[in-house]
Structure 1
Amino acid sequence: MSKVKYYYDSENLAYRKIKTRKSKKFGVIMLFLLAAALFGLLSFVVLLNTPYFETPKDRLQAREIENLKLNYAILNKKMDQANGVIDAIEERDNNLYRAYFNKAAIPDSIRKVGLPGLNRYKKLEGYDNSQLVMNTTKRIDVLSKELVIQSKSLDDILKLAAAKSDFLSAIPAIQPVRNENLKQLASGFGYRTDPFTKVKKMHEGMDFTAKTGSPVYATGDGVIARADNSASGYGNHIVIRHGFGYETLYAHLSKYNAKAGQKVSRGDVIGYVGSTGRSEAPHLHYEVHKDQKVVNPLNFYYGNISAVEYVAIAHLANQENQSLD
């Protein structure tokens, strides 16, 4: 029951009862209801933003976040495995493949450096799990870069392997006359007595004595640069340009089995032993040139003779006897 209030009437010297108007009562009631509604709304908002009150949507989002964290953790474990594999490939690439082809190793400062840019991941900042997402994204970027670098390195190795195969095929690596056709190795590379002047001079090749008509073989893959008798002293001769700075010359032939511009492979018959030009007896004069300088052919006979045969040939070639041309 509400309290009754009085006021003192000084004119009549008496206390009189205070009467509250209905409109004022209604206003007080409405003000109370409005304050109660605002307080309730504020309390509801506060409860929504506290961990003690979750809506079904909040629970669903929380579950999705946990699933994302789990997926990122699994992804990072898979990247650990991928990094182990790529590290093994990179080590093999540097220490085996590139070393074999005499190519410099690719340092880790190039392979594993991050991508350029002041802040490539700024757009990922400002979220609850930004650090997790940024670190994972960086790892993926670095791994992707490593794979690109390794792929390019393997492309280089394939090119080098192809070039190496061509190089090995081009080297003049066999005897131009087979052992079964040889009478003897008449003269080797170095200073020898000239058969006509009897004066020692530089003999720039090796002389293989054989019957006229014995086959002469290309000692490496290449292209016939010339097949004629226009060079003084060589008679009928052939020059093969092998590439990689190598050329070979086959002189005093009785006849040709190849012509200028023709491609030949190691072991192809290109001509036959003779005694044309400045020659004292049937034989093949054979020279090897590297970067336009004559070199000792003895250093290249590893393709079709044994170690014992090589020692025997080396012994004969190093004797300071008389050449045949």
Structure 2
Amino acid sequence: MAKVKYYYDSENLAYTKIKTRKRAKIGYAFLFLLSSALFGFLVFVLLLNTPYFETPKDRMKTRELENLKLKYAILNKKMDEIDDVTEALENRDNNIYRVYFNKKEIPDSIRQSGYKDLKRYKILEGYNNSQLVINTTKRIDKISKQLAIQSKSLDEILKLAGTKSHLLLAIPAIQPVQNENLKRIASGFGYRTDPFTKIRKMHNGMDFAANTGAPIYATGDGVVVRADNSASGYGNHIVIRHGFGYESLYAHLSRYNCRAGKRVKRGDIIGYVGSTGRSEGPHCHYEVHKDGKVVNPLNFYYGNISAVEYVAISQLANQENQSLD
């Protein structure tokens, strides 16, 4: 029962009952209902933004998100396995295949490099799990690039395998002067004393001392690209381009037995020992170049000498004596 309200009438000196108009009652009721609706709406909005209240749609999205996280975890685990297989393949490629075919190994800085352009991942930013997606995408890109490099390397190895017989013939593999004509290994590859300046400097080849006129042999199949005396210090000299990055040089010749442009085979006589150019005595100065860099010829005498002879030559060549040029 509603309370009855009175007010004091000072003119009549009595309490008078307050009568509420019907319109006012309706207004009060409307305001109450409106405020209740607003309050309920605010509570509903707050509940929607708390983890304690989920709609069926929210629960479905949460399950989808957890499912995606699980799939990404499985994908990353599979990529770990692919990484192990790729690493093993790269090791075999660098340490077996490329060594066998005398090719430089592919450095890790190239094999392991991902994409440096980070803008390609910008489109993946701004989501709840952006970092997970970006990291996984980066790993996929890195593996894809590794596989592309490895595929290219194997294509190169396959091509080399097809020309293996040509490679074996092209590699400089014998001494330029035969042992029966050889007086001594006068000097080897490395730092030696210069016979003219008496200063210790790099000697880029080996000196084979022999009598003037002793034959000099091509150490591998190839094409003669130089047979002249225009290079300073070498005197009469010959350069043979063998292919596969190999070149050999024979200096201080007394005369030639070939000309530029002639194709020669391993064991062909290309010239004769002499002492032309910057030389202290009759000998053949011999150099081997691989991919434009001078290398130690001692590593290539396996075509016509025994293991005992190789050890003897190695000991003589490694003595730090005076060179003949």
**So what's the TM-score if we normalise by structure 2?**
0.54
Task: Please name the residue that 1:229 is paired with.
Answer: none
Task: Please name the residue that 1:279 is paired with.
Answer: none
8 Å contact 1:8–1:15 — kept in the other structure?
yes
For the residues of structure 2 that align with 1:222 and 1:40, how far apart are their CA atoms? 94
1:118: Cα distance to partner? Answer: 4.1
Task: Please name the residue that 2:291 is paired with.
Answer: none
Task: Please name the residue that 2:99 is paired with.
Answer: 99
Q: 2:215 aligns with which of 204, 226, 244?
A: 204
For the residues of structure 2 that align with 1:242 and 1:132, how far apart are their CA atoms? 54
The one-letter code of the counterpart of 1:130 is S
Distance 1:18 1:190, change over 3 A: closer
Task: Please name the residue that 1:3 is paired with.
Answer: 3
For 1:7, what is the secondary structure of its paired residue?
Answer: strand
Distance 1:11 1:243, change over 3 A: closer
For 2:127, what is the secondary structure of its paired residue?
Answer: coil
For the residues of structure 1 that align with 2:160 and 2:67, how far apart are their CA atoms? 48
1:302: Cα distance to partner? Answer: 5.9
Task: Please name the residue that 1:135 is paired with.
Answer: 135
For 1:15, what is the secondary structure of its paired residue?
Answer: strand
For the residues of structure 2 that align with 1:204 and 1:129, how far apart are their CA atoms? 76
Q: 1:217-274 CA distances to partner (integer Å, 9 max, x unpaired)?
A: xxx9899xxxxxxxxxxxxxxxxx996479xxxx9xxxxxxxxxxx9x99xxxxxxxx
List alignment gaps of at least 5 residues for structure 1: 174-187, 192-199, 207-219, 224-240, 252-262, 267-284, 308-325
Distance 1:60 1:97, change over 3 A: same
Structure 1 residues 179-194: aligned runs within 5 Å: none
Task: Please name the residue that 1:112 is paired with.
Answer: 112
1:137: Cα distance to partner? Answer: 1.3
The one-letter code of the counterpart of 2:142 is V
Task: Please name the residue that 1:315 is paired with.
Answer: none
For the residues of structure 2 that align with 1:160 and 1:130, how far apart are their CA atoms? 45
Distance 1:6 1:154, change over 3 A: same
For the residues of structure 2 that align with 1:222 and 1:105, how far apart are their CA atoms? 25
The one-letter code of the counterpart of 1:287 is I
**So what's the TM-score if we normalise by structure 1?**
0.54
The one-letter code of the counterpart of 2:89 is I
For 2:8, what is the secondary structure of its paired residue?
Answer: strand
Distance 1:203 1:30, change over 3 A: same
For the residues of structure 1 that align with 2:182 and 2:161, how far apart are their CA atoms? 35
For the residues of structure 2 that align with 1:160 and 1:45, how far apart are their CA atoms? 71
Q: 1:201-227 CA distances to partner (integer Å, 9 max, x unpaired)?
A: 625379xxxxxxxxxxxxx9899xxxx
Structure 1 residues 223-238: aligned runs within 5 Å: none
Q: 1:53-74 CA distances to partner (integer Å, 9 max, x unpaired)?
A: 2222222212211211111111
The one-letter code of the counterpart of 2:124 is L
Distance 1:205 1:66, change over 3 A: closer
Aligned length: 224
Q: 1:7-47 CA distances to partner (integer Å, 9 max, x unpaired)?
A: 22222222211111111111110010011111122222222
For 1:115, what is the secondary structure of its paired residue?
Answer: coil
For the residues of structure 2 that align with 1:11 and 1:154, how far apart are their CA atoms? 115
For 1:16, what is the secondary structure of its paired residue?
Answer: strand
Q: 1:287 aligns with which of 269, 292, 301?
A: 269
Please give the root-mean-square deviation of Cα atoms over the aligned residues, in Å.
4.4
Identity of aligned residues (%): 61
For the residues of structure 2 that align with 1:14 and 1:300, how far apart are their CA atoms? 137
